[in-house]
Amino acid sequence: MSRSERLLKQQLFECQMQPKTRIVSNHLNTVELAKPTRKKDTTVRLSYAYRFPRHLLDPPSHLHSKQRANVSIVLGIPTFRRRKEFYLRATIYNLLSNMNEAEQNETLIVVHIGDSEEDEVLNMLEKIQASFQKQLDSGLIDIITSSASNYPDLDITERSKQNLDLAQLMAYAHTKGIYYVQLADDIVTRPHFITSMRKFALIQSALANPFEPSWFVLDFSKFGFLGKLFKSTELPYLIMFLQFFYNDMNAQDVLSYLIESKLCRQDIMEGRHCQRLKAKLWQHFDGNLFYNVANMSLKSKLKLQADEIA
């Protein structure tokens, strides 16, 4: 066994034995682990000794940020140019109108503009600034974009690009708060959704059996990858899977495969036992807190567009 193989084997062993508190080192591009503890660790171990790709370690292009951090919940909104509708402003307005001042103070909204054309990025930035300058100045809203290095040097599908954009967005957001929630740029939500999500997360954590795995994702919407809440400390697992399988499946399927591959053998992923284990890590809120515009009635769409014009 070569020296490099011995080092890799030792890293894998340490990752399996120690708690998964991360410290990202820009010099080594590695994830180190906190000191061991005597307390029994019952978390499902997604064993890793991974490296973030360099473009995820480098800061994204900050179009606007006041560096707000240590919040309770980070809301991630990826957006890009569409041929017809531009719902982003209406979506942000809907989010803000359904949060009170206390909820806004413990929240960070991160908008990721995924366009490669500089003129289009600046155009979208101007639209956001024209409507939400107060929230930008207070630090409630961050706006970021990716550099060309975020994408491989080849033609990729829209789905593949969306996966890479999600990975970049999560990599930026995962150090900003306790929880991360995946949203979209064409949604509506319910009043006090922040408080509802936080309470549900606390309840599920309190009810968890200390001798069984805790939840990995809390689901607040039945519409695709929308409304998924993660512990920020566990986002690196999903980030790496999105990087590995960006060209093979959509984000929802990547999440499913991540959980199944760590709980079940390849030959029994569709079995009842595997699905029971998966249900413990992927827990669902009773009802929907978020709705996608594509699944709304014409009347509701017209109201959303009226809010956008106003």
Tell me the mean pLDDT in the region 112-125.
87
Q: What angle do CA 197, 199, 202 make, to 5 degrees?
A: 110
- Alpha-helical segments (H) within the chain: 3-17, 54-57, 88-97, 101-105, 118-138, 158-173, 193-207, 235-244, 251-263, 272-281, 298-309
Residue 212 is inside which H or E element, if any? Answer: none
**Whole-number pLDDT of residue 35:** 42
**Whole-number pLDDT of residue 183:** 98
Residues 7 and 131 in one domain: no
Q: Of 29, 51, 73, at which residue does a domain stop? A: 51
Residues 90 and 182 in one domain: yes
**Whole-number pLDDT of residue 303:** 59
pLDDT classification of 26: cutoffs 50, 70, 90 = very low
Residues 15 and 97 in one domain: no
Residues 30 and 177 in one domain: no
Q: Which of 14-18, 191-195, 256-260, 285-289 has the lowest mean pLDDT?
A: 14-18
Q: Which of 27-36, 74-83, 187-196, 238-247 has the lowest mean pLDDT?
A: 27-36
Q: Of 51, 69, 86, at which residue does a domain stop? A: 51
**Whole-number pLDDT of residue 81:** 76
Range ranked top by mean pLDDT from 38-52, 209-223, 225-239: 225-239
Pull the structure tokens for residue 182.
Answer: 């995946």
Q: Count H helices and E strands in the chain, helices first.
A: 11, 12
Residues 90 and 29 in one domain: no
pLDDT classification of 40: cutoffs 50, 70, 90 = very low
d(CA 98, CA 119): 32
Residues 100 and 203 in one domain: yes
d(CA 150, CA 171): 12
Residues 243 and 158 in one domain: yes
d(CA 159, CA 165): 10
Q: What is the pLDDT of residues 265-306, one digit of tens each?
A: 666 556 677 888 888 899 999 999 999 987 666 556 555 555
Number of structural domains in the chain: 2
Note down the domain range covering 98. Answer: 60-309
Q: What is the mean pLDDT of the chain?
A: 80
Residue 190 backbone phi and psi in degrees, to 5: -105, 160
Q: What share of the chain is helix, strand, coil (3-state, %, to 5)?
A: 45, 20, 35
Q: Which of 53-62, 86-95, 97-106, 203-212 has the lowest mean pLDDT?
A: 53-62
Residues 140 and 226 in one domain: yes
d(CA 263, CA 273): 10
**Whole-number pLDDT of residue 58:** 58
**Whole-number pLDDT of residue 86:** 77
Q: What is the pLDDT of residues 182-230, one digit of tens each?
A: 999 999 999 999 999 999 999 999 988 888 778 999 999 999 999 999 9
**Whole-number pLDDT of residue 214:** 86
Amino acid at 130: A
Q: Residue 59: name the closest of 144, 121, 137, 128 by CA.
A: 144
Q: Of 51, 72, 90, at which residue does a domain stop? A: 51
Is the pLDDT assigned to residue 80 strictly greater than 50? yes
d(CA 164, CA 206): 34
**Whole-number pLDDT of residue 180:** 99
Range ranked top by mean pLDDT from 38-47, 75-84, 196-205, 274-283: 196-205
Residues 5 and 71 in one domain: no
Residues 149 and 192 in one domain: yes
Which residues touch 112 (CB under 8 Å, ≥6 apart)? 60, 76, 77, 78, 79, 144, 145, 146, 165, 168, 169, 172
Residue 186's CATH number:
3.90.550.10
**Whole-number pLDDT of residue 13:** 44
Is the pLDDT assigned to residue 138 strictly greater than 80? yes
pLDDT classification of 47: cutoffs 50, 70, 90 = very low
Is the pLDDT assigned to residue 16 strictly greater than 80? no
Is the pLDDT assigned to residue 173 strictly greater than 70? yes
Residues 27 and 152 in one domain: no
Is the pLDDT assigned to residue 98 strictly greater than 60? yes
Q: Is 142 helix (H, G, I), strand (E, B) or coil?
A: strand
Name the percent of the chain lying above pLDDT 90: 52
Residues 209 and 157 in one domain: yes
**Whole-number pLDDT of residue 31:** 37
pTM of the model: 0.78
